Amino acid sequence: MPIDVVVVDDNEADARLIQRRLRASPKYEFTVRHFLDPAPVWEVFRGRPPDCLLLDYHLAGSTGLDFLARMREANLDVPVIAVTGEGNEDIATEALKLGAGDYLPKARITTESLTRAILNVIEKTDLQRRLHKQQTELQNFVSVVAHDLQQPLAAVRGCIEVVRDFYGNCLDERGRDMLETAVRTNQRMATMVDALLSHSRFGQVSRQLDPVDLDVVLDGVRKNLAQALEDSGGTLHVGRLPAVVGDDMALTRLFQNLVANALKFRGDHAPIVEVTGREADNQAEIVVRDNGIGIDPDRRDEIFLPFRRLHKDRYPGSGVGLATCARIVELHQGEIRVESEVGKGSRFIITLQRPLESAEAGRRGRGRTILVVDDDIAILRLLRSLLEREGFQVETAASVAEARAIQVGNRVDLLVTDLILPGESGFDMIRAIRELNRDLPIIGFSGGGVAQSEISPLLERAHELGADRVLGKPFDRGQLLGAIGDLLSGGSAGEAPEPSPEPVGAGS
């Protein structure tokens, strides 16, 4: 079934360009409706809303931000991509705050980038709708619990305490003990209700799902549990973790519960908790491993149910911590499972969705090697970390001489090089490579005023020598990954053109 796209743009030429880009998609079919004026689009919303709305910033008599604000007031959740010819980061930030799912400068729109962005915001909005439905159902349940359980419990406790305090002298010792037992049992039930309400609240996630850096999440968990780590003599090791899509507060609760449980159910030795992760296509797998008392394999399924406490006589607790974890993962459309043996610790394996753009980059990166050349070691480390996260093999060199030595013994699929280097420059390297290999994609980057919006002498010289793209420092992550993806998938130099038979590396 075709993907229905509405374009709101007062520039006919730009709208036709978007239509051509979408028609060129080899995998997806699009139907495109174009409106010069945003006013008629409200009638479209009242009828059959589109699968995606491409909204220009400059509109007749208003802006795309004004339109987004009205959509927000009307509580419309149509997937929106904001587009503009200006590439202004302030506009992009404001559009995202107002509910746009993505932002694309017109100069960087290609068939691939536009298709990817549309699929991304549609998937993201669909996930948010399902989560919102589940949140509503959960909130209804919370209201029932609050009304139907808490009030009777409070009444019962009040009556018991009155009997104990005013009529206790009429009872013998056994009777008074039974009253105290009733008070404790009632308090236990009230605590369970409070824990259930907490479980319900933390099981909710916000409707705005964004890329979440799990390294930052686990850093917060470490700080929150600093006292528990110190008291238990425990150690928390965190490896490099992939980005995921989700609610950062809910994910913090998820991993905090898992780490806190590992510190509590520790046996007679100091607890050791390890958190590691890996990427698999469009998913991230996170493993939380501990050296605790372990779980009986026959009872592993019970631990994710509310109030199922396997060691209630030895370890205090409400019995909803792991149930909350399971709820959070469920609301993120993920999975959680446990592998464990008694006395040998446990492994909790969580599967969550990765950001779509990152997953696409990972597929492009699989099996590809990128050579990065820069005399700034910090930049080399940054680029290695960034590109390895996206699935690329990375070789680094601090000089042209080192880069040439690496090329001798390694297959290189793409070169990323600083243009200004001590001794032989990036220009020298580009010239030499083009003399030997016309097809190697090359991205040059530099400070010194290199602008994306104008042909500076530096950019012009790099293009003349054969660089396919030139980026300025400090570079934008999305800009770099977009350029790499375009070049490795067959895009050519300069502003993204329509598909053409020209070979990669034939500088324009």
User: Given a cut of 50, is residue 66 above it in pLDDT?
Assistant: yes
Residue predicted with more confidence, 376 or 277: 277
User: Given a cut of 80, is residue 362 above it in pLDDT?
Assistant: no
List the helix and strand counts (H, then E) for the chain.
17, 19
Residue predicted with more confidence, 329 or 343: 329
- Is 501 contained in some domain? no
For residues 329 and 401, membership in a common domain is answered with no
Q: What is the dihedral of CA 293, 296, 301, 305, to 10 degrees?
A: -50
The per-residue pLDDT for range 123-140, each reduced to its tens digit, is 888 888 887 787 777 767
Percent helix, strand, coil in the chain (nearest 5)?
50, 20, 30
For residues 223 and 177, membership in a common domain is answered with yes
pLDDT at 502: 28
State how far the Cα of 16 lies from the Cα of 27, in Å rounded to an integer: 20
Q: Residue 29 sits in a domain of what CATH number?
A: 3.40.50.2300
State how far the Cα of 231 lies from the Cα of 262, in Å rounded to an integer: 13
User: Given a cut of 80, is residue 359 above it in pLDDT?
Assistant: no
User: Given a cut of 50, is residue 410 above it in pLDDT?
Assistant: yes
- Is 506 contained in some domain? no
Residue predicted with more confidence, 357 or 436: 436
* Mean predicted confidence (pLDDT) in 326-352: 87
Total number of domains in the chain: 3
Residues 6+ apart with CB under 8 A from 298: none
- Is 502 contained in some domain? no
For residues 200 and 85, membership in a common domain is answered with no
- Is 504 contained in some domain? no
pLDDT at 309: 55
| Least confident stretch, 35-44, 102-111, 198-207, 229-238 | 198-207
Residue 80 three-state SS: strand
Nearest to residue 388, comparing CAs of 396, 377, 378? 396
For residues 184 and 281, membership in a common domain is answered with yes
- Is 260 contained in some domain? yes
pLDDT at 197: 67
Domain boundary among 292, 324, 356: 356
Pair of tokens at residue 89: 């980061």
For residues 180 and 304, membership in a common domain is answered with yes
For residues 330 and 372, membership in a common domain is answered with no
- Is 117 contained in some domain? no
* Mean predicted confidence (pLDDT) in 400-425: 84
State how far the Cα of 418 lies from the Cα of 319, in Å rounded to an integer: 56
* Mean predicted confidence (pLDDT) in 227-251: 87
Residue 26 belongs to domain spanning:
3-109
User: Given a cut of 80, is residue 63 above it in pLDDT?
Assistant: yes
Bridge partner list, 99: none
Band (pLDDT 50/70/90 cuts) for residue 237 is very high
Report yes or no: 85 and 107 within 8 Å, Cβ to Cβ: yes
* Predicted TM-score (pTM) above 0.85: no
pLDDT at 458: 67
For residues 87 and 136, membership in a common domain is answered with no
The per-residue pLDDT for range 177-230, each reduced to its tens digit, is 888 888 888 877 777 676 666 666 554 555 456 778 898 899 889 988 999 898
pLDDT at 136: 73
For residues 333 and 378, membership in a common domain is answered with no
- Is 122 contained in some domain? no
State how far the Cα of 41 lies from the Cα of 44, in Å rounded to an integer: 5
User: Given a cut of 80, is residue 49 above it in pLDDT?
Assistant: yes
Q: Residue 162 sits in a domain of what CATH number?
A: 3.30.565.10
Domain boundary among 46, 79, 109: 109
User: Given a cut of 70, is residue 450 above it in pLDDT?
Assistant: no
* Mean predicted confidence (pLDDT) in 241-249: 84
For residues 220 and 336, membership in a common domain is answered with yes
- Is 493 contained in some domain? no
The per-residue pLDDT for range 303-312, each reduced to its tens digit, is 777 655 555 5
For residues 371 and 352, membership in a common domain is answered with no
pLDDT at 275: 93
For residues 97 and 235, membership in a common domain is answered with no
Instruction: Give the β-pairing of 235-238 and 80-84.
Output: unpaired
Domain boundary among 109, 144, 159: 109
Band (pLDDT 50/70/90 cuts) for residue 287 is very high
For residues 377 and 434, membership in a common domain is answered with yes
Rg, the chain, Cα only = 29
State how far the Cα of 20 lies from the Cα of 25, in Å rounded to an integer: 9
